[in-house]
Amino acid sequence: MFRLEDGFQIDWGQLLGIVLEYGLKIIVLIIGLLIVYPLGKKIISKTLNRAQNNQKLSAARIQTLEKLLLNIFSYVIIFLFVVMFFGIIEQPIGPLLAGAGVVGLAIGFGAQGLVSDIVTGFFILLERQIDVGDYITVASYDGIVEEIGLRTTQIRGFDGTLHFIPNREINSVSNHSRGNMRALVDIGVSYDENIDQALGILNNVCNQFQKDERFIDGPNVIGVQEFGTTQIVLRIIGKTVNNEQWGAERDIRKAILEAFDEHDIKIPHLQNVYIQK
Amino acid sequence: MFRLEDGFQIDWGQLLGIVLEYGLKIIVLIIGLLIVYPLGKKIISKTLNRAQNNQKLSAARIQTLEKLLLNIFSYVIIFLFVVMFFGIIEQPIGPLLAGAGVVGLAIGFGAQGLVSDIVTGFFILLERQIDVGDYITVASYDGIVEEIGLRTTQIRGFDGTLHFIPNREINSVSNHSRGNMRALVDIGVSYDENIDQALGILNNVCNQFQKDERFIDGPNVIGVQEFGTTQIVLRIIGKTVNNEQWGAERDIRKAILEAFDEHDIKIPHLQNVYIQK
Amino acid sequence: MFRLEDGFQIDWGQLLGIVLEYGLKIIVLIIGLLIVYPLGKKIISKTLNRAQNNQKLSAARIQTLEKLLLNIFSYVIIFLFVVMFFGIIEQPIGPLLAGAGVVGLAIGFGAQGLVSDIVTGFFILLERQIDVGDYITVASYDGIVEEIGLRTTQIRGFDGTLHFIPNREINSVSNHSRGNMRALVDIGVSYDENIDQALGILNNVCNQFQKDERFIDGPNVIGVQEFGTTQIVLRIIGKTVNNEQWGAERDIRKAILEAFDEHDIKIPHLQNVYIQK
Amino acid sequence: MFRLEDGFQIDWGQLLGIVLEYGLKIIVLIIGLLIVYPLGKKIISKTLNRAQNNQKLSAARIQTLEKLLLNIFSYVIIFLFVVMFFGIIEQPIGPLLAGAGVVGLAIGFGAQGLVSDIVTGFFILLERQIDVGDYITVASYDGIVEEIGLRTTQIRGFDGTLHFIPNREINSVSNHSRGNMRALVDIGVSYDENIDQALGILNNVCNQFQKDERFIDGPNVIGVQEFGTTQIVLRIIGKTVNNEQWGAERDIRKAILEAFDEHDIKIPHLQNVYIQK
Amino acid sequence: MFRLEDGFQIDWGQLLGIVLEYGLKIIVLIIGLLIVYPLGKKIISKTLNRAQNNQKLSAARIQTLEKLLLNIFSYVIIFLFVVMFFGIIEQPIGPLLAGAGVVGLAIGFGAQGLVSDIVTGFFILLERQIDVGDYITVASYDGIVEEIGLRTTQIRGFDGTLHFIPNREINSVSNHSRGNMRALVDIGVSYDENIDQALGILNNVCNQFQKDERFIDGPNVIGVQEFGTTQIVLRIIGKTVNNEQWGAERDIRKAILEAFDEHDIKIPHLQNVYIQK
Amino acid sequence: MFRLEDGFQIDWGQLLGIVLEYGLKIIVLIIGLLIVYPLGKKIISKTLNRAQNNQKLSAARIQTLEKLLLNIFSYVIIFLFVVMFFGIIEQPIGPLLAGAGVVGLAIGFGAQGLVSDIVTGFFILLERQIDVGDYITVASYDGIVEEIGLRTTQIRGFDGTLHFIPNREINSVSNHSRGNMRALVDIGVSYDENIDQALGILNNVCNQFQKDERFIDGPNVIGVQEFGTTQIVLRIIGKTVNNEQWGAERDIRKAILEAFDEHDIKIPHLQNVYIQK
Amino acid sequence: MFRLEDGFQIDWGQLLGIVLEYGLKIIVLIIGLLIVYPLGKKIISKTLNRAQNNQKLSAARIQTLEKLLLNIFSYVIIFLFVVMFFGIIEQPIGPLLAGAGVVGLAIGFGAQGLVSDIVTGFFILLERQIDVGDYITVASYDGIVEEIGLRTTQIRGFDGTLHFIPNREINSVSNHSRGNMRALVDIGVSYDENIDQALGILNNVCNQFQKDERFIDGPNVIGVQEFGTTQIVLRIIGKTVNNEQWGAERDIRKAILEAFDEHDIKIPHLQNVYIQK
């Protein structure tokens, strides 16, 4: 299998000739690519910018396409480089490696993962499951999409971390940026309070917010949600414009605190205990 | 394997001719599809709307079919485009790619996942496991079905998130919109209360709801369910019209609170502790 | 691989002829099936009803068989339709698809899952592991069997949800409707109570229930089960007729409460704490 | 692949002839089996009963063998029926199905699971890992073995549920009915008690039980097992006859309660708190 | 595939002849084995007993070897029986089964699991990972090794359960009977105690045990291990003779209790709360 | 398969000759490598150092490349050694091993894992997912990248542990060193405090930090985040320079403590309880 | 498949001859190995000891190599024994077993696992991931490496257990003995204490330890780490010499206790509650 019949009488002259001949070819190849690569990138960016001005495509879609096309372009360039490089280099070292079958194996393995990534990525793009700038959850990662690439999708988590996720790791996609979102506030009142009064006050709070333009479907008190261990839990639900649900929830919470304070209703909670020695 | 014998003497004239010839064909193809696609979509929608008026199919079923047919139509158009595109393009770049076997591999991989998705989707539709508008649980996602596609099913979660689930990820389906649902309320009473009195009051509450048309099988007190750490747990069970179980449970809870308040029965709970310094 | 040599000179006349010729055949096929399908279903139902009257098969078994045969019949009809449909359609589009090998792949994939479902289902039926109406646990779903099909088993959960479970997902089956069931009640008494007195009272309660016909093997006090953190746990065990265990347990619990109340034995529990400010 | 060349000119006379010819053969086959099956079952039962009287095989082993042989006999009958049935039916429908290769696939799939079940079951029996009536834990199910079959093992859980477990699901077997079992009682005493006195009392309790014939190796106090959050934990360990460990533990617990009560040693526990408003 | 050309004209005379001829051979075979099997077992046991007296092999090793050799011998006998049985039976039923390929399949499946078991078992024995009598943890089971067989390892759990574990389920082995073991006692003292005094008392306790011959490396106080929620945790660590760690720990715990009692240091713990109504 | 026809008549003279002949070759080979290896390492380091001085590559990138190139160089040297070694040794022992096919198997297995490692590593480097010195999370390990090798990536955990992770274990990469990070502080105030006053004080604290140059986007109070069991939770969020988020959070916390102290607002917490005996 | 044509006319004389002939060869083989094995072991140990004295290899590395070489030597001896044994034994029983293909299967299975173990082990050694004596975490086991073998790695857990881990089970390696380690102490102070005073005292404690030679990077107070439920958590971090981190942490804890005691700062904790009846 491994046969280097006379591995110690190397013809140094011949070796140098080979190195020079193939080295020159490789240098020409590299220079060629160094010219083509930045040129191609500039053309893609320019074309898409013009397209954005002329046509009706949304900015997010243009951004997705630009990042994707640049990514595809990079991979095509790399692919061409590898093919040409092996084309040049094949003659001298080919037989050695081919004998061991290692190159074929490596390409097979590499291609398998790559194709699997590309195919999944292709359907994600085709079905418009995500756009750059969407807030999504995939493969247990949460965040804003930064780039949808041929092989990996980059997501910026809320603590600033950048997650690189190979597309094949993506099964189901949860997109939090498609359509209206629900705002939900649970509030506990004591078993000793008058339940009708509490529901009345919460209804008033909700009415204030129904004029709020963040709400598509004004917040409503839906009733007694649960008998808790320390309190009766009442629930408020509303539908808001996308991405405004957290702010709206915070404002409802503050309004409830003020309304309850006014009517002297206490929210049950574990209290400080000060007992003297 | 990779042999670009004279990779540096490119005949630019010939290249331009090829690009022009095939470019024209591709543009004709794209224009053709841009005419056929919207036309086909309109025909499908119109036909189904007429079918809905004439026949006895339920609105949900019509909606499911419409979304599905549009989805299938899109994929057929894309499939035809890909086949024709490669038909046109095959001649010049075919041998290059075929040599590397990459295209065959990619189609194989893509087809495997796609067929797996389609077959699962086919049986879901054939056995009518879900319709658009059903509230279901599949693959650990909860929500209302928005679209059952050839490849993915879209579910709108209750917080507004849109989940894209590849059909192959769907094993068992739990459909919460088929038939009547159970309403269940657990209520704790103190170990110091008279258990018969408590059961009597709960029976009265249940009797009020038995006229409620949301209940198919009026709520009943089934007895002492559990000896809890702080309370004796009593259970009420009833059968309601689909989707009304949560509202009914909330109303029963409110009625119990009022009835217990009237008869001065306290629900045991951890209380606020106010001790002075 | 994909070769549409002159994809733009379509002979519209020939196309129309093909569509008419094959369209007619398909319409005849569909009409034929629309006659055969309801007829077959009626025959199956009638035959089984007569069998039920004449023979000793249990109603549950007849119901299982009826649902199963109807299900098998549907699949046979669908199978015949698909075979005939492809028989008709084979000539014009066959070569196109066969070239791509996609149909063969799809049938292979579909068949694999289908056969796996059928084989598992076959053994479930052969060994009579479940009947329609049984309360079972399979694949982490709980409920009453609604239908045992060729491909899927339908289970109605206790909250009213309908679960569709592909048979291949079913490994072990836990059938809760085969034979007598155990009723078990754990009751805690204080470390300060006289343990013999408590055991005596529980024995009396058990004696009351031993005449109860729901019990096959009268409930018995088996002794001190556990030293708990707040109480000594005593255990009562009995064997009841199937499906009556929950009702029996609830009645025992109520009887214990009343008996302990009579003899002034308190069940230890965390109490309300009312401390003034 | 699917070719029904003239699918609409069915020769009804020929069809009837085929149905009659093969129908008769199948009826003869069914009648034959209906005679052989009950006969075979009776012979197996009788033979084993006689064997039990004459020889030294334990009742449990005889019962295991009887259930197993009946089970094997059923499968052999079913196997012969299937083989003969397909032998009869092969001629007319064989080519159709054989063309699609579906039958071969189904047998392959069915056989794989079946053989895997049988091989595992064979070694379970060969190594006498379980007998009918043993209390075992396999594949996360607990209970008494009801039947060890060729394909499935049936276990009766303690709540009365019957579990059907395919043999291939059984990896490790935990048999709780082989040899003596351990009785273990943990008892907590306060950090304020005299530890030597407590150990002495427990020693006395243990001495009482050492004459108890359920104990192979009399219960012994082994010392201070753990410093708990509320108590010092002392441990008693003994070895009992199989299946008597739970009863023995319960009796030791009751004896300890009485002994501690006599010497006024309190078991620390969270107490009721009665504080007035 | 299944062809019983004239399945109903059975030649009963020929059948009887076959049964008699082969039945006799099988009976001779069974008798032969019934003589060889107990003889072989006795020879193995005797030989090993003599080896134990003459040579330096440890008793545990001898016991491991004896159980293993008996187990291998059983399997060789069974293997020979099966080979001879099929050798006898091959002629009449061979073609039938061979046609279906079922026997080949079964042997393949059986052999795969069996070989996997034997290979793993072989390395466990070769590397002397466990001996009969060792206390080990494998595949989430804990206990004393009872038998290391060709196919399964039997472990006796501490509650008396006998676990049968197929060797292939054994990945990593944790052997608790190789070398000295650690004794570790954590003891909490109040944040209000003098930490130096407490450490001093514990040092005295440790000094008592340093003469104890169970300790290889006398127990030492290593310092303040943790700031707990209710106490400062101090740690004592020592190295003991194998299997004596639990007893040593219990004795240290008792000695600490007595020493702390003498110096009036309290171990912080949640106390009984007795509050009057 | 294994045939040593006359394994006992070894020709010792011939054996010695072989050993001498091949031993010499191997020694020459080893000496050759011992000269080439350190030489190559020095050349790589020198070249990269010069590159760093002349060009614009960042120090982190140079460091990544240096460690990677040294690693690749080591593997190339080892690969050449193994190939040459087997080339020398092939003649005498080749047929023996080749017969058993063990070498081929080993190379196949080794190569599979190795190629899988290299391919994954290649894409991690190509897409610049990580650099030496980045703080990343991969495969459930957290830490600073120390070396990205051909086969393994080394990560230094924060407790000083060095983790060796084979590249194939790396799926998704979370890089915490790319761009600005979020600082988040949650602070609870009592339900009895004036919520507007508390928000005002926190706003003042945030204003102090907005001049802090660690903050890209000054910390802001975003409102009432949650109704807790003991407190109302208020949240402060800001964006900081990479790696400064923890220090910034700690300083905000200290500033809040001082501001609340000044205005006499108490943070609710469980207090010490001192009750006399 | 299994054909013993005349299994009952055994030629006892011929059998004896075979047994004698091959028995003698095997005995010679065993004796030969019993001489070679201890000789080889002694040579390996001696050579390495001399190497240790002459050269600069670390003791840990020498120990790793010695254990490894002895282990490899054992396996080579066993391999040779098995090959020779089967070479001797092949003639008489070869055809029998070869017919069944069992030997080939067994070797295949055995080799697969073995090669997988060796390859993983090879890279662990090549990349010097672990040495004998290192404290590591692999495959969820913690402990000191005792031996790195060809097939298994032995780790001594801290409670004295010896873990045998097949190399193929080892994916990522966490080595805790490479470089300096972090010492981390979290200390809680009451919300009522002056935070600046507490930080000042802790700074003084840290200054004491900065002269301590165990610390590479003296312990520093990094500030307010967390708002806890009962206390403000302050954190001290330092970098220590390997393996000294635990001792250093314990000493810092004791020093803090004494410093706080001196300045009368209390560490908040849940206190004993003594309430009279």
Mean pLDDT of chain A: 80
Highest mean pLDDT among A114-118, F67-71, G230-234: G230-234
Low-confidence ranges of chain C (pLDDT < 70): 1-12, 15, 54-57, 83, 86-87, 89-111, 270-277
Mean pLDDT of chain G: 80
Least trusted range by pLDDT, from A47-51, B248-252, C202-206:
A47-51
Q: Spell out the CATH class of A181-262.
A: alpha beta
Residue at token pair 């380091």 = F45
The mean pLDDT value for F165-183 works out to 92
List the one residue out of B143, B117, B131, B4 whose CA is nearest residue B66: B131
Residue E98: pLDDT above 60?
Answer: no
A86 touches chain B (CB under 8 A): yes
For chain F, the domains span: 8-106, 112-175, 181-262
Residues E187, D227: C-beta atoms closer than 8 Å: yes
DSSP letter at D186 equals E
Give CA separation, E118 vs B122, E113, E170, in Å: 46, 9, 12
Buried b (16+ CB within 10 A) or exposed e, E101-120: ebbeebbebbbebbbbbbbb
F158-162 contacts, C-beta under 8 A, 24 or more apart: F158/G182, F159/G181, F159/G182, F159/G184, F159/G245, F160/G176, F160/G179, F160/G180, F160/G181, F160/G182, F160/G239, F160/G242, F160/G245, F161/G137, F161/G174, F161/G175, F161/G176, F161/G178, F161/G181, F162/G174, F162/G175, F162/G178, F162/G179
According to DSSP, the residues that pair with B153 across neighbouring strands are: B148, B165
Q: Cα–Cα distance between D189 and E269 in angstroms, integer?
A: 12
Residue G255: pLDDT above 80?
Answer: yes
The residues near A273 (Cβ < 8 Å, ≥ 6 apart) are B273, B275, F270, F271, F273
D87 touches chain E (CB under 8 A): yes
Q: What confidence tier does D99 reach under pLDDT thresholds 50, 70, 90?
A: very low
36-75 in C: which are within 8 Å (CB) of D? Answer: none
Residues F250, G225: C-beta atoms closer than 8 Å: yes
| pLDDT in the model for residue D164 | 94
Record the tokens describing residue F271, joined without a space. 């207090």
A78 touches chain B (CB under 8 A): no
Q: What confidence tier does E97 reach under pLDDT thresholds 50, 70, 90?
A: very low
Least trusted range by pLDDT, from B140-149, B265-274, C94-103, F209-218:
C94-103
E208: how many CB neighbours lie within 10 A of its CB? 14
- Angle formed at CA A57 by CA A51 and CA A58, multiple of 5 degrees: 120
B139 → chain A, closest CA residue:
A172
For residues A216 and A237, the answer to whether their CB atoms sit within 8 Å is no
Mean pLDDT of chain D: 80
Least trusted range by pLDDT, from D272-276, E60-64, F21-25, F131-135:
D272-276
B8-106 in CATH: which number?
1.10.287
Q: What confidence tier does E271 reach under pLDDT thresholds 50, 70, 90?
A: low
Give CA separation, B86 vs B11, B108, B115, in Å: 23, 16, 21
The residues near A22 (Cβ < 8 Å, ≥ 6 apart) are A88, A89, A92
Residue pLDDT, tens place only, F249-268: 999 999 999 899 889 888 87
For residues B113 and B168, the answer to whether their CB atoms sit within 8 Å is yes
Residue at token pair 């003297």 = A276
Q: How many residues does this entry show for chain C? A: 277
| pLDDT in the model for residue G107 | 61
Q: Give E13 or D73, the one with higher predicted confidence.
A: D73
Q: Give A248 or C125, the one with higher predicted confidence.
A: A248
The mean pLDDT value for D38-66 works out to 78
For residues B233 and B225, the answer to whether their CB atoms sit within 8 Å is yes
Q: Which of C3, C258, C272 sits opposite B87 (nearest CB)?
A: C3
Q: Give G203 or A229, the one with higher predicted confidence.
A: G203
Q: Which of B191, B245, B276 sits opposite C277 (nearest CB)?
A: B276
Residue A90: pLDDT above 70?
Answer: no
| pLDDT in the model for residue C51 | 72
| pLDDT in the model for residue C153 | 93
Q: How many residues does this entry show for chain D? A: 277
| pLDDT in the model for residue D98 | 42
Residue pLDDT, tens place only, F87-116: 676 554 444 444 444 555 556 666 677 778
| pLDDT in the model for residue D4 | 41
% of residues, chain F, pLDDT over 90? 30
Buried b (16+ CB within 10 A) or exposed e, C7-38: beeeeeeeeeeeeeebeebeeebeeeeeeeee
Question: Which is it for the CA torsion F170, F173, F177, F181, positive or negative?
Answer: negative
- Sheet strand arrangement including E215-227: E181-189, E232-240, E215-227
Using N-to-C axis directions, what is the helix angle for D102-126 and E102-126, rounded to 10°? Answer: 40
The mean pLDDT value for G233-252 works out to 92
| pLDDT in the model for residue E108 | 64
The mean pLDDT value for G165-173 works out to 91
Q: Which chains touch D (3 or more CB pairs under 8 A)?
A: C, E
Least trusted range by pLDDT, from B51-65, F105-119, G96-110:
G96-110
| pLDDT in the model for residue E103 | 54
Least trusted range by pLDDT, from D104-113, E258-267, F12-21:
D104-113
Q: Cα–Cα distance between B143 and B173 in angstroms, integer?
A: 12
| pLDDT in the model for residue C35 | 86
| pLDDT in the model for residue A3 | 40
Buried b (16+ CB within 10 A) or exposed e, E69-94: bbbebbbeeeebbebbbbbbebeeee
% of residues, chain G, pLDDT over 90? 30
Residue G8: pLDDT above 50?
Answer: no
Residue A97: pLDDT above 50?
Answer: no
Residues F169, G171: C-beta atoms closer than 8 Å: yes
Q: Which of F161, F202, F275 to mutate to test the interface with G (most CBs of G within 10 A)?
A: F161
List the one residue out of D7, B56, D13 whose CA is nearest residue C28: D7
DSSP letter at G168 equals G
For residues C267 and B228, the answer to whether their CB atoms sit within 8 Å is no
Residue pLDDT, tens place only, B185-221: 999 888 888 888 999 999 999 999 988 889 998 899 9
Question: Which is it for the CA torsion D126, D128, D130, D132, positive or negative?
Answer: positive
Q: Give F62 or A129, the one with higher predicted confidence.
A: A129
The mean pLDDT value for A109-117 works out to 73
Highest mean pLDDT among A247-256, B83-92, C100-109: A247-256
According to DSSP, the residues that pair with E181 across neighbouring strands are: E240
Q: Cα–Cα distance between B238 and C159 in angstroms, integer?
A: 10
107-166 in A: which are within 8 Å (CB) of F? Answer: 109-110, 113, 139, 141, 149, 151-152, 156-166
Q: Spell out the CATH class of B112-175.
A: mainly beta
Q: What confidence tier does B108 reach under pLDDT thresholds 50, 70, 90?
A: low
Q: Give D219 or C273, the one with higher predicted confidence.
A: D219
SS3 of D56-67: the string is CCCHHHHHHHHH
Residues E224, G253: C-beta atoms closer than 8 Å: yes
| pLDDT in the model for residue B150 | 80
Residues C276, B274: C-beta atoms closer than 8 Å: yes
Q: What is the separation, in whole angstroms, between the first and last Cα of chain E?
A: 87
To the nearest whole Å, the CA of D180 is away from the closest chain E CA by 6
% of residues, chain A, pLDDT over 90? 31
| pLDDT in the model for residue D174 | 94
Q: What confidence tier does B74 reach under pLDDT thresholds 50, 70, 90?
A: confident
The mean pLDDT value for D65-75 works out to 82
For residues F237 and F187, the answer to whether their CB atoms sit within 8 Å is no
E263: how many CB neighbours lie within 10 A of its CB? 12
Q: Could you give the 3-state DSSP secondary structure of residue C188? A: strand
